[in-house]
Structure 1
C-alpha cells in the first residue's frame, strides 16, 4: 500500500518527532520515518494512530487512484509566485459524514454570491468551539440563523448576522450548530 504520510506531515509542517509524540500512545521518530518510506508495514492501526496525530482522516494518508491529486505549480509568497522546493500536491477535499453545505445566494460579510460553504456539525457538548467562528444554527423547524457566533452553550447560542446593522440573535436550545470549515469559490 502506498501512503501519503510524508506529504501530509510536511504539508502540516511537522517533524517526525512531533508526529511521534502526538501519536496515542507516543512512538519514536524513527518508527514514523520507517512507516513513511515503506521500510515498515503500515497496518490499519498505524494508519489510524498517525491520522489522529496529524489531525486528518486515515483515508487521507492512502493513495487512491480514483482520487486525483492536483500538482502544485507554484507557491504564492511575500515575494510573489515561486516554484516549490520539492514536488507538492493538493488533495481534493472529501466530505466527512458530519458535514453540511450552505450555498450563498447573496453576498454577505466575507462570502460572495455563488460561494459554497462546507460546515461541520458539532454535538451540543462542543458548541463552545463555535464561538468567534461563522456558523449555521438550527432554529425550530426549517429555520436557521447564520453568522458569527458570539457565545454558545448546549442550551443557548447567540449569533451576529453578517448583514450590515444586523442585531445579535439568541437561539434557545438549538437543534444543532455547524461551523464553516471550507469555502469553495468559483473564480
Structure 2
C-alpha cells in the first residue's frame, strides 16, 4: 500500500508543522514526515489520528499500488504551465470535505455560470452552520418536496435568504430548512 498523506496535506496547503499541530494530541513535524515517507510504520492508530486532523476518512490515506490514480503533473501559473518536481496523487475536493452527506445537482438549463451537463456537488450541513456558507451557492429543501437554489446571502433566525443565479431574479426566503447543501465542486465535461 502507498500512503497519500503528503498529497492530501499539500492539496490542503498545509506544512508538516501544520499537520503535526492539528493532530490530537499534537506530534512533531519529523514524525509526520517519517509517516509520509514510510520510514515509520503507518498503524491504524496513526491513520485515525492523521485522518481526523486532515478531516478525511482514514481509508483515503492509503491506496493500492495496483490501482492507477489520476496524477497532478503540472500547475498553471502566471507565466504558463509549470511541471511539478514530482507527480502527486490528485485528491477530489469532495474527499477533502467533511462529514456531511454529498448531494449532486444536475444542471439541465443554463443558470448564471452553470451550463447544461454540469454537475454541482454539494455537501449537506445543518442550518445552524450556515454562517460558513454565506456568499456560496446552496441547495435548500422547501416544503412540498421542492428546492431553492442560489447564493446564500442572509440568515436571520429561522429564515434563510438566497439569490437565484439567473439575471433579474428576486431573493427567495426559505423558513426553517431541514438542511443546507453547500456547493463544493463543479464537474464539467469539456
TM-score normalised by structure 1 residue count: 0.89
Q: CA separation of 1:160/1:94 partners in 2, compared to 1, >3 Å: closer, same or farther?
A: closer
Q: CA separation of 1:45/1:66 partners in 2, compared to 1, >3 Å: closer, same or farther?
A: same
Q: What runs of 5+ residues in structure 1 fail to find an aligned partner?
A: none
Q: What runs of 5+ residues in structure 2 fail to find an aligned partner?
A: none
Answering whether residue 29 of structure 2 is matched by residue 29 of structure 1, we say yes
Distance 1:94 1:72 in 2: 16
Distance 1:161 1:168 in 2: 7
Query: Is contact 2:138–2:150 with CA below 8 Å preserved after alignment?
Result: yes
Partner of 1:183 in structure 2? 186
Correspondence 1:1-187 to 2 at 5 A: 1-64=1-64, 68-91=68-91, 98-152=101-155, 155-187=158-190
Deviation at 1:153, TM superposition (A): 5.4
Distance 2:93 2:19 in 1: 22
Please identify which structure carries the higher strand content: 2
Deviation at 1:97, TM superposition (A): 6.4
Query: Is contact 2:155–2:161 with CA below 8 Å preserved after alignment?
Result: yes
Deviation at 1:174, TM superposition (A): 1.1
Deviation at 1:133, TM superposition (A): 0.7
Secondary structure in structure 1 of the residue aligned to 2:144: coil
Q: Cα deviations across residues 35-75 of structure 1 (Å, max 9, x unaligned)?
A: 11222222223212212323333222111357631123432
Deviation at 1:127, TM superposition (A): 2.4
Count residues in correspondence.
187
Secondary structure in structure 1 of the residue aligned to 2:173: strand
Distance 1:84 1:11 in 2: 13
Q: Cα deviations across residues 156-182 of structure 1 (Å, max 9, x unaligned)?
A: 210111110111111111122101100
